C-alpha cells in the first residue's frame, strides 16, 4: 500500500524513506527541496518536487497512487528562526499541515503519521517528560507543531483518519553507508555545528548560556539517533495498519546530556580541541528536556539500538567527513 512521505528529501525523512523502501514499501516523496536534497531520496522512491500546501497536487498524488498512509515530515525546524519569523512557521508548519490533512480527509487516506517535537514541552522540575504532562511550548516553532497535533485530534473525531504523533527529542547522528545525514542548509543544531567545528569547517562553537540551573550551567537535551527514529515510523505504520488507535508518543532515550557534555564527547571522539566560546542564553531554549519513552516502547514495540552519545557523535563525524551532497 503506497505511502506519501512529505519532506522525504530531508534529514529524518530520507532516512525513513530508505528504511521503508528496504522493507518493500512503495513510497512517493513530496518535497519542495527548500532544505532537502534530491540525492538524499532513495533511488527506488519516486520524488515529486512540490509544496505540501499545494492542495491540488497533494489530492492528485493521493488519488493517482491510492495512498494508504501519509508520513508528514515537511516543515521548518529551527527554533531561533521561528522567533525571528513566526508567520513563516505558522504558514509552513501549521497552515500547510491543515491543507494536507484536508487533502487526506478528502482522499480518504486512513493513516497519518506526524513529526512533532519535544519543543511542545517546557522544562520540568522532575525529568523525564511524559506525553500527558502539560504542554507549554517556548517558541513559535513548538506552538506551530502543537496546533497541528490538535488539528489531527479534532479531525480524527469526525473523519475516518487515525494518526500517530511522534514527538521527537533532539535528533542527531547519520547513516553514512546509506548516504543519509544532516546536510540541511543553515542547520544550527549543536552536534552538527560542533562536528563541523571539530573538522575545521567552522572556527568555533558558541555555548548559549552557562547560568542555567543544571549541574554545569548548560542546557540538557535527550539526543536520539536518526536510525532509531526511522524505525519508530515503520512500527507506527504497522500499528496503524493493524487497527491501532490514535497515539501520541515521545521518541527519545530518556537520558539527558548537557551542552558541555556533548562538546567534550565530540572533542574526545574527534581527537581535537574545540574553540568553545561561552555566550548569552538563546531565546526560546527550555533548560532541560528529556523523554520518558515508555509509551513508544509499550505501544510501538520500539527498542532503540544505536543509542549512545558516542555512536551519535561518531556517525555524525563520519558523515561530515564524506558529505556526498
Ligand X SMILES: NC(=O)c1ccc[n+]([C@@H]2O[C@H](COP(=O)([O-])OP(=O)(O)OC[C@H]3O[C@@H](n4cnc5c(N)ncnc54)[C@H](O)[C@@H]3O)[C@@H](O)[C@H]2O)c1
Question: Which residues are the active-site residues?
Answer: 141
Q: Are 187 and 316 in contact (CB under 8 A)?
A: no
What's the Cα-to-Cα distance from 126 to each of 115, 120, 168, 214, 253, rounded to whole Å? 25, 17, 19, 12, 16
Contacts of 17 (CB under 8 A, 6+ apart): 5, 8, 27, 29, 41, 42, 45
Q: Residue 313 binds which one of ligand X, ligand UPG, none, with CB within 5 to 8 A depending on kind? A: none
Among 28, 18, 4, residue whose Cα is nearest residue 180: 18
Q: Residue 259 binds which one of ligand UPG, ligand X, none, with CB within 5 to 8 A depending on kind? A: ligand UPG
In the bound state with ligand X, the residue whose beta carbon lies nearer, of 119 and 161, is 119
Q: Does residue 285 belong to the site contacting ligand UPG (CB under 6 A)?
A: yes
Buried residues in 132-156 as b, exposed as e (16+ CB within 10 A):
eeebebbbbbbbbbbbbbebbeebb
- Name the residue with cell 540541511: 184
**Cis preceding linkage at 223, omega within 30:** no
Q: Does residue 35 belong to the site contacting ligand X (CB under 6 A)?
A: yes
Distance, in Å, from the CA atom of 219 to the CA atom of 212, rounded to the nearest integer, reads 7
In the bound state with ligand UPG, the residue whose beta carbon lies nearer, of 10 and 179, is 10
Q: Scanning residues 64 to 93, which ones bind ligand UPG (CB under 6 A)?
A: 77-79
Q: Residue 221 binds which one of ligand UPG, ligand X, none, with CB within 5 to 8 A depending on kind? A: ligand UPG
Q: How far is C-alpha 223 from the geometric centre of its chain's CA atoms?
A: 11
For ligand X, which stretch binds (CB under 6 A), given 33-41, 122-130, 148-156, 203-211?
33-41
CB of 9 vs ligand X, minimal distance in Å? 4
In the bound state with ligand UPG, the residue whose beta carbon lies nearer, of 163 and 168, is 168
Q: How far is C-alpha 18 from the geometric centre of its chain's CA atoms?
A: 15
Q: Scanning residues 182 to 201, which ones bind ligand X (CB under 6 A)?
A: 184
Q: Residue 53 binds which one of ligand UPG, ligand X, none, with CB within 5 to 8 A depending on kind? A: ligand X
Give the DSSP H or E segment for 258: strand 257-258
In the bound state with ligand UPG, the residue whose beta carbon lies nearer, of 88 and 282, is 282
CB of 269 vs ligand X, minimal distance in Å? 20
First-to-last C-alpha distance (Å) of the chain? 31
What's the Cα-to-Cα distance from 241 to each of 163, 236, 244, 246, rounded to whole Å? 11, 9, 7, 12
Binding mask 92-131 for ligand UPG (x = CB under 6 A): -------------------------xxx------------
In the bound state with ligand UPG, the residue whose beta carbon lies nearer, of 100 and 118, is 118
CB of 31 vs ligand X, minimal distance in Å? 4
Q: Which of 70, 75, 220, 237 binds ligand X (CB under 6 A)?
A: 75
Among 169, 165, 80, 188, residue whose Cα is nearest residue 127: 169
Name the residues that contact ligand UPG, by CB under 6 A. Answer: 77-79, 117-119, 168-170, 188-190, 193, 205-208, 219, 221, 259, 282, 285, 289
Name the residues that contact ligand X, by CB under 6 A. Answer: 6-7, 9-13, 30-36, 51-53, 73-75, 77, 92, 96, 115, 117, 168, 170-171, 184
Amino acid at each position: 500500500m503506497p505511502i506519501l512521505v512529505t519532506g522525504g528529501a530531508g534529514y529524518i525523512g530520507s532516512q525513513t524513506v530508505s528504511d521503508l523502501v528496504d522493507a518493500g514499501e512503495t513510497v512517493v516523496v513530496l518535497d519542495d527541496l527548500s532544505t532537502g536534497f534530491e540525492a538524499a531520496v532513495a533511488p527506488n522512491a519516486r520524488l515529486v518536487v512540490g509544496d505540501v500546501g499545494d492542495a491540488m497536487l497533494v489530492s492528485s498524488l493521493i488519488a493517482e497512487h491510492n495512498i494508504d498512509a501519509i508520513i508528514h515530515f515537511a516543515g521548518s525546524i529551527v527554533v531561533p528562526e521561528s522567533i525571528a519569523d513566526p508567520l513563516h512557521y505558522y504558514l509552513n508548519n501549521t497552515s500547510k499541515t491543515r491543507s494536507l490533512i484536508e487533502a487526506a480527509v478528502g482522499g480518504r487516506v486512513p493513516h497519518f503519521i506526524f513529526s512533532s517535537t519535544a519543543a511542545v514541552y517546557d522544562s520540568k522540575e522532575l525529568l523525564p517528560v511524559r506525553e500527558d504532562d502539560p504542554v507549554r511550548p517556548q517558541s513559535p516553532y513548538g506552538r506551530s507543531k502543537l496546533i497541528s497535533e490538535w488539528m489531527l485530534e479534532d479531525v480524527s473525531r469526525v473523519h475516518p483518519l487515525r494518526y500517530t504523533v511522534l514527538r521527537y527529542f533532539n535528533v542527531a547522528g547519520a547513516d553514512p553507508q546509506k548516504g543519509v545525514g544532516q546536510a540541511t542548509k543553515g542547520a544550527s543544531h549543536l552536534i552538527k555545528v560542533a562536528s563541523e567545528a571539530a573538522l575545521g569547517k567552522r572556527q568555533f562553537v558558541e555555548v548559549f548560556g552557562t547560568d542555567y540551573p543544571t549541574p554545569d550551567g548548560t542546557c540538557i537535551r535527550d539526543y536520539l539517533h536518526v536510525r532509531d527514529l526511522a524505525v519508530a515510523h515503520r512500527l507506527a505504520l504497522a500499528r496503524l495498519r493493524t487497527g491501532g488507535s490514535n497515539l501520541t508518543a515521545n521518541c527519545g532515550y530518556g537520558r539527558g546530556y548537557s551542552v558541555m557534555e556533548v562538546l567534550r564527547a565530540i572533542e574526545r571522539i574527534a581527537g581535537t580541541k574545540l574553540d568553545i566560546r561561552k555566550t548569552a542564553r538563546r531565546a526560546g531554549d527550555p533548560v532541560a528536556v528529556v523523554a520518558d519513552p515508555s509509551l513508544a516502547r509499550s505501544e510501538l514495540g520500539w527498542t532503540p539500538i544505536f543509542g549512545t552519545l558516542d555512536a551519535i557523535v561518531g556517525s555524525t563525524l563520519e558523515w561530515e567527513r564524506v558529505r556526498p551532497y
